[in-house]
Structure 1
Amino acid sequence: MQFAIIATSVAFLVIATLMPLSHRAVWWIRDFDFPRLQLAVLASGLLAVELVFLDLSDIASHGLITVTAACLLYQFWWIFPYTRVYRNEVKASLGAQEGDTIRIMTANVLTTNRNTDGLIALIRKHEPHVFVTLETDSWWQERLDVLEGDYPFSMKCPLDNLYGMHVYSRLPLEDGAIQFLVEDDIPSMHAMAVLPSGRKVRMHFLHPAPPSPTEHDESTERDAELLVVAKSVVGLDTPVIVAGDLNDVAWSTTTRLFRKISGLLDPRIGRGMFNTFHADYWFLRWPLDHLFHSQHFTLSFITRLPSFGSDHFPVLVELTYDRVRGAEQQGLVPDADDKALAEEKIAAEPVSEADVHEPQA
């Protein structure tokens, strides 16, 4: 009986491990990209159970142990870069010229959440130069507008469909545009932020829909939106930041492909996962809220802020412009297969990189 239970558990673990190897975009396959940490923990516990309860003189037991160990190593390979023992992808800042830092806060508020005071308190405490809110409707906009005295520059798209978006900024925002790149009711925001030094930073804020039984049967919409933005920023001389709730985990095939195609860096590499969802369930958390940036920046700090009633934690990141040290940083590099896969994913939707608004410096 014990052997049968363990064998069934191993079979589930193998299926969950192999599923994401498929390039199919259907939600029930792509969602297995998310719980790699949980599956690694499951594999570790299962391995311990096998060593205690299985007959180690039986060759079948050896097979189960070997398969479990292989699944554990494979899952850990994906999440290992998001541990502190891994090399930092982004250098720590050593200081900056006055006016050459930018502090950005992202917060998926959960539309039905009514704790606006909690979010506003966090904003006033941490004083980001720019903050972006997701899932914000007209009700949220009315209450966040009390901050307009400190944040006179803004972009607003209140919606009742869980995809409203607002950007409030202390920094001037130039050549801004609100776009609906892939779907008519899911916005993205694009603008040039002007630092106090006069330096300009190209910013893209995204919140594509996830693959799920309640949203989309496939991930094609999400993947295409991420990748056309990636192609629109590759190789730019202008500093670039892309941030938002991407409804994808940091280690997924699509997010890694986004990093490869865009050339942008992930400040979490070597520092931690900074899991932002789900705020209410510690055992079901993964990094859904992201900030990627070009080599122009080093990292002052990144931190996950306390919950304010949403199902997401907010994230605060401060970057320092340092082109000299930043040039030494290296992210993921695409090969021919990566580029072909990106084109295949983009071709699944009627959108191209030419459709992405390109704020001009």
Structure 2
Amino acid sequence: MLDIGLGIVAAALVLVTLVPFVPLRYWWVRGFDFPRLQLASLALLAGLTQWLLGSAEWRWWSIAACVAVAAVQFMYILPWTPLAATPVKQAPDDHRGHRITLLIANVLTPNRNAEGLLRQIHAHQPDVILTLESDEWWGEQLNRSLEDKWRYCVRVPLDNLYGMHLFSTLPLEEVEVKWLIQHDVPSIHGWLRLPDNSRIRLHAMHPRPPAPGESEESLWRDAELLLVGQEIRDSHEPTLLAGDLNDVAWSRTTRLFCHVSGMLDPRRGRGMFSTFHAGYPIIRWPLDHIFISSHFTLNRIQRLEAFGSDHFPILASFTHSPAHAAENDEPQASADERREAEATVEEGRQRGDGEAHG
């Protein structure tokens, strides 16, 4: 009976490992991009259990299937472990250049523990603060505590889970709130003016996820991210992109975004820094991201304490050092990847009702 049960588990693991290879955008297909660490761990546990306790002659097929599943899943998540190379170089202690620190927090709209987040903001003193899912109530709490020091701000309070607030000690210039693919999902785009008078392009995003009750497909998320990625590619400016992208670091869409835009993930070679779900360690993956252009080196990145939201805040500090851009390993898109991105963006434009429509 044990062998049969473990054999069924092995077959199910093979199936869910193959599902993400299907080129469909349905949420139940793309959702299997997320729990790769969990699936790999379950495969190893099932295979080991069958090896130690199983007795059926065919159990070796089941064990082999579990090993194959674990290998495939680990292949995807390996770059986000200390075993992999770090395409974003570490900034030396004596490195010259302006340091910029960002804090991102998806606050979870009904969460009312603003003090838990504000305490961490004041402790770490980031230059830029981005909150997501922040409504009018959250905006009031943030303004009351932050507006004296973080004088530059953009407020987009919404009660549909897509509100955003951006606070900065650095001057914000040419800021635009855009509704790129869907009319009710905003993003913030602008420039940060550094003390040396140079400027950094900043994009803040929170696209709609493919999930029950949100969207049946991933098109809206994918098209919005890739549209901004194309803009980044064409600008060649020092750029930061931050937000809850409702996608994991190792998904096809996120990898495609990095290749198309040339942006780098500072977590690669350092860890996953999983931010969701804060309440359930067994189902936790990296949904909140900070991507950088090759003009930056990394000082530090860390996940902060839970404060009642279903997301942990994440904090990252970078040094703006354009002269060292060649030291970072900037990704490049193939011709096929560029065509795929263009097709996705065009479909999002045509089917969406945002500013990019048509």
TM bracket, shorter-chain basis: over 0.9
Please name the residue that 1:78 is paired with. Answer: 76
Please give the secondary structure, in 2, of the residue aligned with 1:283.
helix
Please name the residue that 1:91 is paired with. Answer: 89
Please name the residue that 1:13 is paired with. Answer: 13
Please name the residue that 1:359 is paired with. Answer: none
Identity of aligned residues (%): 44
How far apart are 1:63 and its partner, in Å?
Answer: 1.5
Give the aligned residue type for 1:28.
W
Alpha-carbon distance between aligned partners in 2 of 1:113 and 1:61, rounded to the nearest angstrom: 48
Please name the residue that 2:288 is paired with. Answer: 289
Please name the residue that 2:330 is paired with. Answer: 331
Instruction: Deviation per CA, 1:116-139: give whole Å up to 9, x if none.
Output: 111111111100000000000011
Instruction: Deviation per CA, 1:277-336: give whole Å up to 9, x if none.
Output: 000001110000000010000000000000111110000010001223331211332212
Alpha-carbon distance between aligned partners in 2 of 1:13 and 1:343, rounded to the nearest angstrom: 33
Please name the residue that 1:52 is paired with. Answer: 52
Q: Alignment RMSD, CA only?
A: 1.4
Instruction: Deviation per CA, 1:202-241: give whole Å up to 9, x if none.
Output: 0000000100111000000000000000000015332000
Is the contact between residue 39 and residue 73 of structure 2 (CA under 8 Å) also seen in structure 1?
yes
- CA gap of 1:259–1:177, structure 2 versus 1, over 3 A, is same
Is the contact between residue 296 and residue 322 of structure 1 (CA under 8 Å) also seen in structure 2?
yes
- CA gap of 1:67–1:331, structure 2 versus 1, over 3 A, is farther
Is the contact between residue 101 and residue 195 of structure 1 (CA under 8 Å) also seen in structure 2?
no
Give the aligned residue type for 1:76.
F
How far apart are 1:110 and its partner, in Å?
Answer: 0.5
Please give the secondary structure, in 2, of the residue aligned with 1:136.
coil
How far apart are 1:144 and its partner, in Å?
Answer: 0.6
Please name the residue that 1:246 is paired with. Answer: 245
Alpha-carbon distance between aligned partners in 2 of 1:74 and 1:203, rounded to the nearest angstrom: 35
Please give the secondary structure, in 2, of the residue aligned with 1:70.
helix
Instruction: Deviation per CA, 1:97-127: give whole Å up to 9, x if none.
Output: 36x1110000000011111111111111100
Alignment gaps of 5+ in structure 2: none
Given the alignment of the two structures, is residue 62 of structure 1 paired with residue 60 of structure 2, yes or no? yes
Give the aligned residue type for 2:264.
L
Instruction: Deviation per CA, 1:26-53: give whole Å up to 9, x if none.
Output: 0000000000010011011011112112
Alpha-carbon distance between aligned partners in 2 of 1:218 and 1:260, rounded to the nearest angstrom: 22
Alpha-carbon distance between aligned partners in 2 of 1:215 and 1:227, rounded to the nearest angstrom: 20
Please name the residue that 1:226 is paired with. Answer: 225
Please name the residue that 1:304 is paired with. Answer: 303
Which of the residues 103, 114, 117 maps onto 1:116?
A: 114
Please name the residue that 1:37 is paired with. Answer: 37
Alpha-carbon distance between aligned partners in 2 of 1:234 and 1:340, rounded to the nearest angstrom: 14
TM-score, normalization: structure 2?
0.95
Give the aligned residue type for 2:209.
P
Is the contact between residue 96 and residue 321 of structure 1 (CA under 8 Å) also seen in structure 2?
no
Alpha-carbon distance between aligned partners in 2 of 1:289 and 1:45, rounded to the nearest angstrom: 29
Alpha-carbon distance between aligned partners in 1 of 2:73 and 2:293, rounded to the nearest angstrom: 28
Alpha-carbon distance between aligned partners in 2 of 1:96 and 1:187, rounded to the nearest angstrom: 36
Alpha-carbon distance between aligned partners in 2 of 1:318 and 1:284, rounded to the nearest angstrom: 27
How far apart are 1:7 and its partner, in Å?
Answer: 1.2
Alignment gaps of 5+ in structure 1: 357-361
Give the aligned residue type for 1:206.
M
Is the contact between residue 278 and residue 309 of structure 2 (CA under 8 Å) also seen in structure 1?
yes
Is the contact between residue 277 and residue 311 of structure 1 (CA under 8 Å) also seen in structure 2?
yes
Instruction: Deviation per CA, 1:63-112: give whole Å up to 9, x if none.
Output: 112111111100000000111121111100013436x1110000000011
How far apart are 1:248 and its partner, in Å?
Answer: 0.2
Please name the residue that 2:345 is paired with. Answer: 346
Please name the residue that 1:186 is paired with. Answer: 185
Moved more, 80-89 or 215-224: 80-89
Is the contact between residue 11 and residue 65 of structure 2 (CA under 8 Å) also seen in structure 1?
no
Please name the residue that 1:26 is paired with. Answer: 26
Please give the secondary structure, in 1, of the residue aligned with 2:69.
helix
